[in-house]
Amino acid sequence: MVAKLKNTDYIIDDAILIKGNKILCGESAKKASTKIEAVKRALFSFKGQVEEINEVLNREQPESILILGTSDDMVQKIVRNLKLPEIEETVYIEDVSSPEEIAAARSARMSGGKHVIPVPTFELKKDFSGYLLDPLQIFKWKGRNSEPVLLEKSLIRPTFSYLGKYTISDNVFKTIINYVKDQINAIYKVQRINVETKQAGIMIYIDVIVEYGVVVKPALADFRQKIRKEIDRLTAMNVIDIVISAKGIHINKK
């Protein structure tokens, strides 16, 4: 909302450079395993971070940038580390949010470890595959003569806010895939499932036997779409791709 009021399309927040609803570069500080590392990353303390964002800024040539920070000192450090021009204007949270909103946000941060990143959830799925990640839409209306603003954000719980770690076994994905298969008459049998876990998410390879008489390509496409939807709903894992091969046809002797 502040970016829109100030007519800027660019935001630096949480070690990420955002343009509109798209992440241009950077990796969220919320992915850090410790709070100390998260703070260093948010301040652009690492050489690789600075080089990456400066390359994009030189290409984009933004007229203005909104930098989000938790204090004046933090924002000044970001400006120095990125060698940006001097700050022209500072907007404090009290200028744009009510005391009740601020109290609710503080409570969610302190008690639940919840953080908001100002981009839609689909932009973060690759970076936060498997994290607790929820879409968040906020409808703001500032006065009778102003236009309402719909803000799309994402709510996450960083690694360092968990009281432990969790993993999702390949057997979980295999069970989900076989469950989906049971809902589809076109697939007779799942022969093989191979799950590869990568940094950006998972790759799934499936061999199936289809029922005689079905149109194979649409049947596999439908199976693929339903698997992706169920895995997303149940695990929050980012599915990079699902490759399904029809290895045979089952002919009902009746």
246: domain CATH number is 3.30.70.1350
Closest C-alpha to 197, from 129, 121, 125:
129
Same-domain pairing of 145 and 204: no
Hey, what are 130's tokens?
């498997």
CA angle 116, 117, 123 (to 5 degrees): 135
Same-domain pairing of 102 and 216: no
Residue 18 has a CB neighbour count (10 Å cut-off) of: 24
Give the domain range for residue 41.
2-161
Reported as a single tens digit per residue, the pLDDT across 51-61 is 999 999 999 99
Same-domain pairing of 243 and 180: yes
Out of 110, 144, 161, pick the residue that ends a domain: 161
Task: Kindly report the length of the chain.
Answer: 254
pLDDT score for 161: 44
Closest C-alpha to 116, from 20, 16, 239, 8:
16
Closest C-alpha to 101, from 1, 203, 223:
1
Reported as a single tens digit per residue, the pLDDT across 159-197 is 444 444 556 788 889 999 999 999 999 999 999 999 988
Same-domain pairing of 144 and 231: no
CB 204 within 8 A of CB 195: yes
- Residue 71's SS3 state is coil
Hey, what are 91's tokens?
């907007």
Same-domain pairing of 140 and 28: yes
Same-domain pairing of 115 and 201: no
CB 193 within 8 A of CB 206: yes
Distance (Å, rounded) from C-alpha 186 to C-alpha 209?
9
For residue 156, name the pLDDT band (cuts at 50, 70, 90): low
Distance (Å, rounded) from C-alpha 203 to C-alpha 1?
37
Same-domain pairing of 131 and 196: no
When pLDDT is averaged across residues 226-236 and rounded to a whole number, the result is: 84
**Domain total for the chain?**
2
Same-domain pairing of 7 and 52: yes
Distance (Å, rounded) from C-alpha 102 to C-alpha 212?
61
Same-domain pairing of 32 and 96: yes
Same-domain pairing of 184 and 99: no
Q: pTM for the complete prediction? A: 0.54
pLDDT score for 139: 54
Out of 94, 129, 161, pick the residue that ends a domain: 161
Same-domain pairing of 148 and 179: no
Same-domain pairing of 133 and 242: no
Distance (Å, rounded) from C-alpha 18 to C-alpha 78?
15
Out of 105, 140, 161, pick the residue that ends a domain: 161
pLDDT score for 112: 59
Give percent of the chain with pLDDT exceeding 70.
74
Give percent of the chain with pLDDT exceeding 90.
43
Closest C-alpha to 66, from 50, 94, 39, 87:
87
